[in-house]
Amino acid sequence: MGIGMQAERVTVALLLLTIGWAACAQTTWDEAASRLRAASLAPEQVTAILERARAHGLDPRVAGPWAARAAGLAQDGIPSAILGERISQGLAKAVPVGRLESALADLDANVRWVNGLLDRITARAERRDNPGQTELALRAGEAALRAGLSRDQLERALGRRPVTLEQAVVFSQTASSLLAAGVSVADVIKALEGPAKAGISAAEMQRLERRFVAELAGGRTPDEAFEDFRSELGATMRDRVNGPGSDVREGMRRQLGHEMRDTMRETLGGPGGGAHMGVGAGAGAGGSPGASGAAPGRARAGNR
Amino acid sequence: MNEGTSEGDRRLEAWLADAPRVAPSAAFRAQVMGALARRRAGPVRHFLFSPRILKWNFAGLAGAFAVALLAVGIAWTLQPSVDPGPDAARVVKVRFVLDRPGASAVSLAGDFTGWKTRVALERQADGTWQAELRLAPGEYEYAFVVDDDQWIQDPSATRFRNDGFGGRNAVLLVPGVNGDRNAG
C-alpha cells in the first residue's frame, strides 16, 4: 500500500510538473510573439516565424535578439518586415541559428547603410511622401549588396549624386539584375557609373534592364545580352548629347519641387526639412521603378 | 339585511381607502392598450404595430449573442475563398517547371509565399513537376523544395542571387501588363 501511494504521488507530481512546464513554455512563446509584434512585425509574419521555430525545436528565447533587431530597425524608420522575411527564409531552409543570426546582422548593417545612402542622395520630402517607394529602394539597395556589390560600388553605380527614389530603385535593381545573370562586378560598375552620373532617367534604365532580361529569357547568353545592353546604353547616352528629353525635364522639375519643399520646411521650422539636395542635370524621370522583361528559365511569365 | 350590507360596504370602503395606491406598470398599460388595439385593428395590423415590451435577462442576452456569433461564423466560413491577390487587375500567370522525375513531392517557396512551402507542384505525364501562380509585377526570389527537405535552385533559371545564408535563390522578374512594375 505504501509503495502504491508513493507511486500515485510521483505520478501526480510528474503530471503537475508537466503541466507547469507546458504552461511556462507557452508563456515564453507568447512573450516571444509579443516582443516580435511590438517590433512592428505583422502578426501573420510573427505566427509563421514562431511556428517554424517551434517546429525546429528551438528555444523561444531565440526570438529575443530577432525582436531587438527588428525593434531597432523600426525605431530608425526602416520597415522591420525586411528582417522578418529573412528570418522566415532562414527558418524555412533550416539554417542553423548561429548562421541565421550572422545573416541577420549583415542584413541589419546593410539595410541601415542603404538607408543612410538614401538620406544623402534623395530628398527627404520625397522619402516621406513615398514610403512604399522608399521601402522598395531599401530592398533594391540591400539586394544589390547581396548580389555582390560593395558599398562603395553601389554608390558608384548610383552616380554619387542626388537622385530620385525611382532612379535609386531602378539603378540598384539593374545592377543586381546584371550581377544575377553573371555579369562581373567590374563590368556592371563600368556600364552604370557613367549613365548614372549623366542622370539617365529611371524610365530609360528600366527599359534597358527589361530588354536585357527578355533577351536572357529568349535564349541569348548573358554576354550577348550584356553587350546589347551596353550598346543600347551608349546609344541612349549619345542621344542625350542633344539635350534632355521631356522625361528628364519632368524629373528635374520634380526634384526641384522636392528640394524647394524641404527648404521651405526648414526655413519655417516645420517637420521634415534638412535634406540637402542638389539638382543635377536630368535628374529622374517618370515611369514606374524597376524593369521587367520575361521570366527567367522555365518559370514562364505571361499576361493572360 | 340592509344594515348588514351597509356595514359591509362601509368596511370595504374604508379598507379600500386605506389600501396603498399602486401605479400600473408600463407592461400593464401596454397590455391594456394592446387589447384595445386588438379590438380595433385586424390581426395583421395588430401583429405588426401593437407595442411590445421586451423582457430580458443576462442568460437570454448571452444566448442571443452566442446565436449571432454562430451565424457570423457560419457566414464567414461559407463565403467564397477567392483571393484576387495583389493588384488583381495586373497579376500575371507564371508557370514554374522542374524536371525531377525521381522526386516524390516538389513544392515552391519564395518571397511571394513568405518562404512557406505551401505551393505544391503537380507531377506531369512527362515526369516534370509544374505549378502556375498569379503574381503581381515585380522581382521575386524563389527556390524549389524536393521531398520536403531538399532546397534546390531552379536549374533553368537564368539569374541567381546570394540568399544571405551561403546559398542562392533563383531570381524571377515578372513583367507588368504594360511592362511596368509595382512600386510597392
* Interface list for A 275-294 with B (CB within 8 A): 287-294
- The C-alpha of B184 sits at a distance from chain A's nearest C-alpha, in angstroms, of 5
- The C-alpha of A8 sits at a distance from chain B's nearest C-alpha, in angstroms, of 42
Give residue for cell 527599359: A207
* CATH T-level topology, domain B88-174: Immunoglobulin-like (2.60.40)
Least confident of A217-221, A227-231, A293-297, B146-150: A293-297
| Chain A residues with CB-CB distance to B116 below 8 A | 48, 88, 92
Cross-chain Cβ contact B161/A180 below 8 Å: yes
Between residues B151 and B6, the one the model is more confident about: B151
Determine contact, residues A236/A200, Cβ cutoff 8 Å: yes
> Residue A180: its pLDDT value, please?
94
Between residues A7 and A3, the one the model is more confident about: A7
* Helix (H) or strand (E) run with residue A157 in it: helix A151-157
CA distance linking residue A211 with residue A231, whole number of Å:
12
- The C-alpha of B65 sits at a distance from chain A's nearest C-alpha, in angstroms, of 28
| Chain B residues with CB-CB distance to A210 below 8 A | 175, 179
> Residue A270: its pLDDT value, please?
42
Cross-chain Cβ contact B93/A133 below 8 Å: no
- The C-alpha of A263 sits at a distance from chain B's nearest C-alpha, in angstroms, of 27
CA distance linking residue A79 with residue A39, whole number of Å:
10
Name the residue facing B165 among A103, A210, A297 (closest C-beta): A103
**Parallel, antiparallel, or unpaired: how do β-strands B128-135 and A300-302 relate?**
unpaired
Name the residue facing A95 among B95, B165, B171 (closest C-beta): B165
Determine contact, residues B108/B121, Cβ cutoff 8 Å: yes
Band of pLDDT at residue A84, cut at 50, 70 and 90: very high
List strand residue ranges (DSSP E) for chain A, in order: 300-302
Determine contact, residues A140/A209, Cβ cutoff 8 Å: no
Name the residue facing A146 among B95, B162, B180 (closest C-beta): B162
List strand residue ranges (DSSP E) for chain B, in order: 92-99, 106-110, 119-120, 122-123, 128-135, 138-146, 150-152, 160-162, 168-174
Give ipTM to 2 decimals: 0.71
* Helix (H) or strand (E) run with residue A108 in it: helix A97-121
Q: pLDDT for A175-222, tens place per residue?
A: 999 999 999 999 999 999 999 988 889 999 999 999 999 999 889 999
The predicted model scores a pTM of 0.66
Cross-chain Cβ contact A292/B180 below 8 Å: yes
Name the residue facing A299 among B95, B149, B167 (closest C-beta): B95
> Residue A47: its pLDDT value, please?
93
Q: pLDDT for B15-57, tens place per residue?
A: 888 888 777 777 887 888 777 766 666 778 778 887 778 888 8
- The C-alpha of A19 sits at a distance from chain B's nearest C-alpha, in angstroms, of 31
Cross-chain Cβ contact B172/A296 below 8 Å: yes
Band of pLDDT at residue A299, cut at 50, 70 and 90: low
Every domain of chain B with CATH number 2.60.40.10 lies at 88-174
Band of pLDDT at residue B68, cut at 50, 70 and 90: very high
Beta carbons within 8 Å of A202's beta carbon, 6+ residues apart: A164, A166, A167, A169, A170, A171, A251, A284, A285, A286, A287, A289
Nearest CA among A290, A280, A271 for reference residue A135: A290
CA dihedral for B100, B103, B105, B111, sign (positive or negative): negative
* Interface list for A 211-270 with B (CB within 8 A): 213, 216-217, 222
Phi-psi region of B56 (alpha: psi -120 to 50; beta: other; left: phi over 0): beta
| Chain A residues with CB-CB distance to B138 below 8 A | 290, 292
Q: Cell numbers of A173, please?
A: 535593381
